[in-house]
């Protein structure tokens, strides 16, 4: 058995009833932001919400995930595709990395095509600051449509 990378996922509280289907499918298929683990075994050690704006659970969730061995924490794609996208996503990323010394990846499953279409119409992601946040979850059109 090879080395296992342990990960945690924090989702937007707007989607608190989400069963995680897209995230777990992408994790299993190594799609979207999980493509970085193409040749690596991964284990999910935590899955929770941020607890709503301004993210009161991020501090505690990060601590618990790290105690459970998380080496990487993913901020779910829902934080990018929601209307509006999470205004705290950069703050969460910076905090988790500095406080717990873990790598933080923005995104989980590929951005569904319907969200890309709407955010393009809205101009949400036009600024250059969005490109590094979106990059891990961009995929080809067929893959994006499969996540609609």
Can you give the CATH number for the domain in which 41 is found? 3.40.50
| CA distances, 118 to each of 38, 53, 81, 106 (Å) | 30, 23, 9, 20
For the segment 40-58, what is each residue's pLDDT rounded down to a tens digit?
A: 999 999 999 999 999 999 9
Confidence at residue 1, expressed as pLDDT on a 0 to 100 scale: 52
Whole-structure pTM value = 0.95
For the segment 131-148, what is each residue's pLDDT rounded down to a tens digit?
A: 999 999 999 999 999 999
For the segment 77-122, what is each residue's pLDDT rounded down to a tens digit?
A: 999 999 999 999 999 999 999 999 999 999 999 999 999 999 999 9
Domain that includes residue 140, residue range: 4-146
Mean pLDDT of the chain: 96
Query: What's the chain's length in residues?
Result: 148
Please report which helix (H) or strand (E) contains residue 59, including its range: helix 58-67
> Is pLDDT above 90 for 70?
yes
Instruction: Report yes or no: 20 and 77 within 8 Å, Cβ to Cβ.
Output: no
| CA distances, 39 to each of 28, 44, 73, 142 (Å) | 12, 16, 18, 23
**What string of DSSP letters covers 74-94?**
EEPTHHHHSSSPPTTHHHHHH
Question: What beta strand segments (E) does the chain contain?
Answer: 4-11, 41-49, 72-75, 103-106
> Is pLDDT above 80 for 20?
yes
Total domains, the chain: 1
Identify the band that residue 2 occupies on the pLDDT scale cut at 50, 70 and 90.
Answer: confident
Instruction: Report yes or no: 10 and 100 within 8 Å, Cβ to Cβ.
Output: no
């Amino acid at each position: 058995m090879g080395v296992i990378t342990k990960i945690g996922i924090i989702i937007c509280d707007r989607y608190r009833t989400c069963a995680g289907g897209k995230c777990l499918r992408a994790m299993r298929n190594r799609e979207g932001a999980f493509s970085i683990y193409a040749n690596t075994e991964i284990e999910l050690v935590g899955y929770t919400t941020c607890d709503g704006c301004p993210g009161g659970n991020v501090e505690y969730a990060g601590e618990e995930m790290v105690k459970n061995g998380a080496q990487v924490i993913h901020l779910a794609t829902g934080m990018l595709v929601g209307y509006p996208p999470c205004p705290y996503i950069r703050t969460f990323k910076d905090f988790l990395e500095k406080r717990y010394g873990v790598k933080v990846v923005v995104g989980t499953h590929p951005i569904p095509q319907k969200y890309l279409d709407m955010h393009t119409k809205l101009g949400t992601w036009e600024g250059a600051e969005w490109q590094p946040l979106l990059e891990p979850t961009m995929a080809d059109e067929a893959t994006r449509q499969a996540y609609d």
